[in-house]
Structure 1
Amino acid sequence: MSELQSRPPLSRLLRIAAIAEGTTLLLLVFVGVPLKHGFGIPEITRFLGPLHGVAFLTYIWAVINELSLRDQPRGWTAKAVLFSFVPGGTFWFFRRSIASAR
């Protein structure tokens, strides 16, 4: 049995945190920043910025939690963190991680 087949599935907390982090980053980058700098409406970034900060910290905590509880490889952890800095990266990474775990 290969390493990918024996790896347990990702936790529900991590999936929810990845969706929240990815969604808030996309909203912040593609809605909040254009409204703030293009139209002079900074209110949306005042709301989305802290919301994304909480979502990001929750996601990082969930990745660390997943590493300690499910014994994910260190390379997986580094990729999970790096893809969180790319808009839409968490969606792509976790779709790929879930598909490779099957």
Structure 2
Amino acid sequence: MRFTLLGSVEAIGGGGICTPPAPKVRQVLALLLARVNRLVRVDSLIEELWRQAPPKSAMTTAQTYIYHLRKMIEREGLAERGEQVLQTQSFGYALRVA
């Protein structure tokens, strides 16, 4: 699995090239890629997405964006069977790639 950040944010893997269709989901993927293999705290994610004006539903919405990324990784065959690329950790998420 490979990713591009310059130009379009894309994931390249088993099923070809895919780009998350929603802008905020692409933004989440870009942030996770900028900090690959490290914890991205939920509060950092919320700040990146909404700056100083997050909605009351920010936590739930951020979790929904992570869910969409996980489904994309699974649907497009971007990870090996059983490999958990997008991990939930205490206080945040980590994108684990070689």
Q: Report the TM range for the smaller structure's normalisation.
A: 0.3 to 0.5
Larger Rg: 1
The answer to which structure, 1 or 2, has the higher relative contact order (CA under 8 A, 6+ apart) is 1
Higher helix share: 1
> TM-score, structure 2 length as denominator?
0.40
